[in-house]
Structure 1
Amino acid sequence: MIDLSHPIATGMTVYPGDPAVRVRAALSIARDGSAVAALELGTHTGTHVDAPAHIVPGGRTIDRVGLDELIGEALVLDPTRGGAEPLSSGESIGIERLGIERLSRVPAIVIVRTGWDRRFGGRRYFRHPHLAPEAAERLCELGMHVLGVDMFSPDPTPNPGEEGAFPVHEIVLGADGLIVENLRGLEALGERAQLGFFPLPVRGGDGAPVRAVAWRQSAGGRRRG
């Protein structure tokens, strides 16, 4: 299996305004007979899934999302494939850049691979590209239910203190879909991949950290395990 998740660690990069992450020792083997860590983090820490309740009043919470919605074959879209120019900071990724203008159907899970995960932990990570709203609308029309990205968000990330706009969130979560953010290592995947996202079942949660994985394919093209 291929791990597509960022490790959770004290002081890790978080979305502007989100709770800071702290992992500290609460019990120790020497003192208490067992080791237990205390975690302080937000529901959108690291690699995580947004439930509709993230922005939709009365929307589904993460504990009402079925695991079957988050497992299956995914289409991996790479806007830099085929000799296209590398993506630039703040670039809007449209339908043609994604190469979906001639598609008639997509799987329920669609991943957009930008390579921006290599900047995770640095200031440039905040200035990631983003998905054009019309591209998100088109993907939903084609059958997408889960959108995954290797960036903070499929929408632009605002500067600290600024109010953000979330048109792609409104389109996808507004259709009762799901968004997986801060994926990493997508260069290990082909155009089609078997993926699984396993969130913490936070009761009433607007989202949750996930362990995101891809299954390696055997030489014959069939999934191992």
Structure 2
Amino acid sequence: MSVIDLSHPIRTGMTVFPGDPEVRVEPALSIAEAGVSVLSVELGSHTGTHIDAPSHTVEGGATIDAVDLGRLIGPARVVDVSGLPPRTRISVDDVREALREVGPGDIVLFRTGWSARFDEPGYADHPFLDAGIASALLDAGVTVVGVDALNPDETVADDPAPALPFHDVFLGAGGLIIENLTGLDRVTARAPRFVGLPLPIAGGDGAPLRAVIIED
């Protein structure tokens, strides 16, 4: 069995979505002074590799602690859309052939290759998914989608309330969105098992999660 970690380490100063809380990890107690080592960790609910619950964009939507964890364990389908220029809109036609193979219970992960730019200035200039892809996935019975980028929608840094059409469609239908994955280029199996378990934040609109691929 091979386990591939798809999660970015949480560290001080790491990339966050524009306007989100900055991440700070620092010593709170030390073995020398208190006999134990304890860190103080300050972060937002959408830090690093994380999952968006419907309540992230939908008023009254399900919160992360109400999500059935069984939905986050299942066969993964990696859709390769790497090699595109910055801010390319990816249409349904671009991935139609790949989506023919997906069905209910599949967890569809889009590989843009942008995770290689994590913590670099251009990370927010990632390619993004047209909302039509959200509709196509839902029509196929897919309710969990992930991207190795900051956002499945276009990231507009200077807009305090950006349009999020992919989020609106997918979360609006009760779907779950995983963002900031990494390591999708290491996945070689056709339909390996995905496991991604979020922190059970009470009433949370999202949460960091440890995402892995298991290849037998």
Same fold per TM (> 0.5)? Answer: yes
Letter in 2 for 1:87: L
Match of 2:90 among 79, 89, 93: 93
Letter in 2 for 1:198: L
Q: How far does residue 192 in structure 1 lie from its aligned partner after superposition?
A: 2.1
What is the match of residue 17 of structure 2? 15
Q: Is 1:71 the equivalent of 2:73?
A: yes
Quote the RMSD (CA, aligned, Å). 1.5
What is the match of residue 221 of structure 1? none
Any residues of structure 2 matched to 1:42-61 within 5 Å, and which? 42-61=44-63
Any residues of structure 2 matched to 1:47-196 within 5 Å, and which? 47-80=49-82, 86-100=83-97, 103=100, 105-108=102-105, 109-190=107-188, 191-196=190-195
What TM-score do you get using the length of structure 1 for normalisation?
A: 0.90
What is the match of residue 34 of structure 2? 32
Q: Is 1:206 the equivalent of 2:208?
A: no
Q: How far does residue 193 in structure 1 lie from its aligned partner after superposition?
A: 2.0
Letter in 1 for 2:88: E
Letter in 2 for 1:11: G
**Residues 201 and 28 of structure 1: is their aligned pair in 2 closer, same or farther, counting only changes over 3 Å?**
same
Q: How far does residue 29 in structure 1 lie from its aligned partner after superposition?
A: 0.6
Distance 2:4 2:101 in 1: 29
**Residues 117 and 104 of structure 1: is their aligned pair in 2 closer, same or farther, counting only changes over 3 Å?**
closer
Distance 2:23 2:183 in 1: 22
Distance 1:205 1:4 in 2: 22
Equivalent residue of 2:178, what SS? strand
Runs of 4+ in structure 1 over 6 Å off? none
**Residues 37 and 124 of structure 1: is their aligned pair in 2 closer, same or farther, counting only changes over 3 Å?**
same
Distance 1:183 1:51 in 2: 16
Q: Is the 8 A contact 1:146 1:178 kept in 2?
A: yes
Identity rate of aligned residues, in percent? 49
Letter in 2 for 1:98: V
C-alpha offsets along residues 108-135 of structure 1, whole Å, 9 cap, x if unaligned? 3111111110000011111000001111
**Residues 29 and 46 of structure 1: is their aligned pair in 2 closer, same or farther, counting only changes over 3 Å?**
same
Letter in 1 for 2:134: A
Q: Is the 8 A contact 1:75 1:106 kept in 2?
A: no
Equivalent residue of 1:99, what SS? helix
Q: Is the 8 A contact 1:95 1:101 kept in 2?
A: no
Q: How far does residue 101 in structure 1 lie from its aligned partner after superposition?
A: 7.5
Q: How far does residue 163 in structure 1 lie from its aligned partner after superposition?
A: 3.2
Letter in 2 for 1:206: D
Task: Note the residue ranges of structure 1 that are not aligned, 5 or more in a row.
Answer: 81-85, 218-225
